[in-house]
Each structure stands twice: as structure tokens, then as C-alpha cells.
Structure 1
Amino acid sequence: MIPAKKSRAFDYLFDQFNRRFLKFHFRGMFFSKGADVPIPSSPCLFVVNHSTWWDALVVFHLNRHIIKQESYVMMHEKGIKDYPFFRNIGAFSVNRQNPKDIVLSLQYAKERLQENKTLWLFPQGDERHQEIRPLGFLSGALHIVKNTSIPIVPVCLYYSFGRERKPDIHIRVSGAITATDLPGNSSKEKNIALEGLFTNHLDQLKHDVIMENTGDFENLL
């Protein structure tokens, strides 16, 4: 397991680059949350769908400018080895081919939450096309917050082309839940319930983007 190696100086400098980089490639990053959807303070677990390489950069920008919490994100080991700078902005690795490494990564995640930090997780594990259903959530998120009252916050990302040359990113943060809120008696049943809930949120976001019901979205770029 490769731990994070956070650097405040790098965090600041990377933010300057990342904003320009995203703005160069996208028309906008449009963010929405309901007026009655408060963002919990740390510790909390944000779960995000994973369909492109851009997701980690989007999460960084969202946290830096909206969530504003000291955050860590679990990434596949290959991603961190290919792009080691992610460690400096809070990424740590997991190798799902190695059971021992999985245990170490989950424990590292729990320890960050115990330190009142915020954790970001891509429950699908690998990148999957955003239109694929079922989403295929792995059970790591429920394992991390099992027997706790730590809030789980769904964050849906949807990429699309509109009438402009550049594509758009749409983001919606939904209301927090806890593991005990989810129906089911086992972690497997609760994970199925979490995936179902998230799928509903993501499909609603997709519908709103297609139908251009996006008047409440704020451009973060």
C-alpha cells in the first residue's frame, strides 16, 4: 500500500495548474446541490462514480473550492505509480489483486476518518463507462464505515457534449446517509442498497442534463 504524502505547498500550486487545465479542456464544471442538502463536516465519506481519468482532478477541484476539507482519496495502485503527484494531494493506493494490500488500504482509510479527515472513494473500483448499468459497486465503502455514524455523501459526475465545442462536467451532491440508514441486514445487502440509491441520483442528473434542467448549476471554472 502506497500512503499519501500530502504537501500544502504542492496543493496550492497544483490548484493553480488544475483550474487552468480543466478550463482548457472543458466548457465548464457545473455544480449543484439542493438548498436543503448541507455538506457534512469531517469526518465523512464521499462516494463518486468513476468513468474517466478526469475524475480525480474534478474531485480535487470540487474539494478545494466547495467542500474545503482536508481530504484523502483511494486510488488504484497503477494510477498512483503512473501519476505519483496524486500522493501529494492526498491519494493513497489499493491493489485489489493483493488481499493483504486491500486490508492495509482499508485500515489506512479508517485511520484517516478517525483523525477527522474526509475520505473520497470510487466504489466501482475501475473506470466504467458512465452509461453502464449496474454500476458495479464494490463493498469497500460499507466496510470502512461499518458500525459508525459517519455520513456517506453521494457525488454524481456526468460528462456530456452540448452545443459548444468543449464538453461539460456536471456534478451533483446529494443528501448524506449512514450505513445504518441503508436497508439490509448484511454488508452485501447494504451495498446493493447504496448502489441503487446512487444509480437513482446519477440517472436523475443525466435526465436533467439532457433536458437542460440545469438552471441551478454554478460554473466552478
Structure 2
Amino acid sequence: MIALARVILIGIFILFSSIVISLLCLLRPKNPKNTYIAALMYGKVAYFLGFKVSLAGNENLPKTNAIFVCNHQSNYDVFIATNTVIENTVSVGKKSILYFPFFGLMYWLSGNILIDRSDKNKAINSLTIAQRNIKSKNLSLWFFPEGTRNYAKQLYPFKSGAFHLAYNTGVPIVPVCISLYYNKLSLNRINNGKIIIKYLPPVYVNKSAKESAKEVHLSMKENILDLEMKQN
């Protein structure tokens, strides 16, 4: 019964928020402030899911713009990871997001960047636009570098796009680690426990993107395991 109520209410929330943010976007299209407002709204849903979200490592946030890379457990990350989104940040997501009813349109209108991974030339063009925006608009970008959901099983290898951008623009990579929650989530349970989200120290990419991706991957893997121990 609790699960059904949550599903229905979350569906209503997504419909309502998509309409509100989409209307806001018509007034100021592709403005990153729209993304920040959406993130504030979606982040509150974590508590409705029965999670208590705790942020750590705020001292590691750079004073300049950055490229954030985060582990990706499930679609519920849209309610979890959004608790860490700072102002003037947009995310980079798969083109398929556009086809999610209501949410996809809002996501695109908010100024987030869609990448068509099935077409290499289009993907490169999208990243080129992102690189231009980092420099000209002082934007921060948010990536799930695994490229797919891992369902709290293991941290998949990282794609190198975010690290190429960091190298080309000189802005730091800020790793964001979310403690494992997907294997503990029950929509029928009122209290689903604590989630710890930690910003790691910024990393400046001054070597090959693939090598940097591997180093950040290892650091995040170790920190996620450490968060798991603190969580239990």
C-alpha cells in the first residue's frame, strides 16, 4: 500500500514539476537557473522515499566552475544526486531522456545537454558545445561517467568524455560518491535509512583522459566502500 501511494504521488509530482519548470523555461529558455530550481525540487523527493540524505566534503567544492562525475545506481538518482547540484550547473545525459513523458521535455528545455551515443559525430558535436559553454558561460557540468545504471552491484568503467572536457578547458573534475542505496530500497518501507553523498577533492586533468578516468574511478570505488562502512 505504501509503495502504491509513493508511485502515484511521485508520478503526480513529475507531471506537476515538469509543467511548472517547462513554463519557467519558456520565460528564460536554456537558463541554468531552471536546472538548479528543478534540482532543488527533485532532491526533496529523497525524503519522501524514506531516505535521510547527508552531505560530506563541502570543503572540496572549488570556487570556480567544475565538471562533476558521479556514480549511477538507478533512475532514483534523479531524486538523490540532485541534492548535490550547485548553481550554474547543467547535466549531460543520453538523448533517450528526451522521450521520457513530460520529464524529457523539461530536462531539455532547462538547458541540460543531450548526447546521442549511437552517432559518434553528433556526440562529439554535443561535447564541443558543452566545452564552449564551460568557457563562455562559466558553466559547471554534471556527468554519470559509467554511462548506465549499475544497480549498486559494481562501479562500471568510466567513459572518457568528461575527462577530455576537463583537460581541454582546465576546469577540475570533482568526483561525487553516493553510498549504496538501491539494494536497500523498499517502496513499502517508511524508513529506508541514510544515504551519504561525498564530494572528493578536485582533480586537475594533466595527463591522458583515459588514464585520469581510471585513477578517479579507483578513488571513487574506494570511497564508496568507505561510505558503505560508515552507512552501516
Normalised-by-shorter TM-score class: 0.7 to 0.9
Query: 2:148 aligned to 118, 122, 126, which one?
Result: 126
Displacement after TM superposition at 1:118 (Å): 0.8
Query: 1:18 aligned to 16, 27, 42, which one?
Result: 42
Distance change in 2, residues 1:57/1:80 (3 Å) = farther
| Mapping of residues 1-221 of structure 1, within 5 Å | 5-6=30-31, 8=33, 12=37, 14=38, 17-33=41-57, 37-63=59-85, 67=86, 69-82=87-100, 83-84=103-104, 85-114=106-135, 115-133=137-155, 135-160=156-181, 161=184, 165-167=190-192, 168-180=194-206, 186-210=208-232
Structure 2 segments unaligned to the other structure (5+ residues): 1-28
**In structure 1, what residue type is equivalent to 2:158?**
F
Structure with greater contact order relative to length (CA < 8 Å, sep ≥ 6): 1
TM-score normalised over the length of structure 2: 0.73
Structure-2 separation of matches of 1:57 and 1:90: 18
Distance change in 2, residues 1:110/1:28 (3 Å) = same
3-state SS in 2 of match to 1:146: helix
Displacement after TM superposition at 1:144 (Å): 1.0
- Residue correspondences, number: 194
Q: In 2, are the aligned partners of 1:7 and 1:88 still within 8 Å (CA)?
A: no
Structure-2 separation of matches of 1:52 and 1:70: 24
Q: In 2, are the aligned partners of 1:71 and 1:90 still within 8 Å (CA)?
A: no
Structure-2 separation of matches of 1:143 and 1:25: 36
Displacement after TM superposition at 1:157 (Å): 1.0
Displacement after TM superposition at 1:132 (Å): 1.3
Map Cα deviations across residues 60-94 of structure 1 (whole Å, 9 max, x no partner).
3322xxx3x20110011112321322224442211
TM-score normalised over the length of structure 1: 0.76
Structure-1 separation of matches of 2:110 and 2:79: 10
Structure-2 separation of matches of 1:50 and 1:10: 19
3-state SS in 2 of match to 1:145: helix
Give the CA RMSD over aligned residues. Answer: 2.6
Give the structure with the higher percent helix. 2
Displacement after TM superposition at 1:207 (Å): 2.0
